[in-house]
Structure 1
């Protein structure tokens, strides 16, 4: 399986041309995060307990706004849960557009299944209300139990409401001025920035674009109206730009995942890797006195055994300038596990023979 995965990455290692709109974005065009505090009602006894005092206080405050006076100390309920509501406000949305929202339990509720979110204002980073959320929640799982046992599928204390929020205020976007606009690469790279500027100049004329740094390409074209800005972005967004691959080896020690980019090269190095396994086992024997003995007593005697085994290892020669395919074949020839490969790659990097950036996540 590891060989198949790595070989797939190797086969797709050569960078192909991509549309500029797929590898970059326009400076000033961005989404905004929204957040709010709300209450989910209608739960079947799976809401917050009395320990979540903020839920009790919230219900008391809500009822007070409806003209009902209640003592929070006497309020007992399990069909209400306090939640945090989050959403992303995309660029260029107008008032009345609906957004998807995510709801997460704030207290000790067991499940949000079957609940309904009451009207919740969603705030931006500036403290202003930009949307209002309300509606029945969709958990995407369930929990059931009885007689001391329970069954839970998926995460039932987080839910979503598709199109559950209505935008009440739009965010103005300033992405272009009279002198032009700026393009930001998703993955900063000097070579890719230069290629993007060259592609724009080839389309719009010499001097129309310049690479400011590894992440920014400035398009210096006079824009007199929003329509001209939209037309310009539509043109340059369809241009094909070939990204430059950065040699990287990304490993995840928690899962044993190894991802190797296509430009990785290895210097001359010999690799040997052996596994040492230590097994410690304990068995318990019962020691009993002789029959009819008045002085002896029964005791439990533990017996511990330790066994260490080490598999035989061989040296695998990796010649200087070896490509990704050759590196994969060498590692697979050693019949090592993904976690062993992580250790080997770290050792090769430490030896200065890995021509790539080693990223551990």
Structure 2
């Protein structure tokens, strides 16, 4: 099987789509599956990951989302590379320029086409005061995804939302987690000392510091906790984005901002944390949530989006009304005041994460690929 992936973000970009696709290509390499990725150049550490499997194109940062890139692909070059590669299937992961190239060439060269839906852009509009664009956005998204023989979505919540909107050929493609990398067994005391954590409890957020993550609610939650509890709490905010400067200026004294962390550094933070607090309502899945659970850290999240399908209330964490700082604070207090419950939820979260194995998930996805490109109604190019 030869697989071509068209995406507007890829490793070493730091976002859920790029990280998921990197897990996928790692799986291809382990299984000796031939693949080629067509993606923009990266805005960070561009020389960190160079591979003959990746074809990069010039790009610029999106003005409202600098971590993502708008590619300027050379269609003639892509067509030549694609014909030389001769893939069995094309997978389009994003609805921007690279994705449009993938759709066009799949049709022109009669290559079976599938896609995946990772981001709830419609929900983003609310946080940028652009709700008036909702109807136009949905019209475009339906048009963009219509040619796919299969459209993979990361959660039941996203499946339901798109089905109601009239999207077809939907299949659930849940995301997994590397439980050998994210685990509870790092040296927590050493990590706390390295980070200067002296408080009894460590509460952590990981994500982009942007409006769609509802990070301002995070500040409200921190300020909502009683003074005697706040004296025992240290907040660690891992990530970066357009709101970082404003958040730091208005944050309480017990909140530390680290910027982006990856690899072992990130895994250690999850492991050393007592609670993971994540108010974002816009997630189609919530990779950071399942990473926290794999690390034995219960999660308190917004009762919205794909995280609803990860968190079992009272078992692996709690779900709170979006933007309701008081409800988030109550859930935090419930666990900080009950050590045995905190430990129990951490164990349950780890047990759940162990069932979400990437290889098993990718095996199932390849089965869907097989059924797509073996469709006798599709004739591949010669």
Output the TM-score relative to the length of structure 1.
0.21
Higher fraction of strand: 1
Output the TM-score relative to the length of structure 2.
0.20
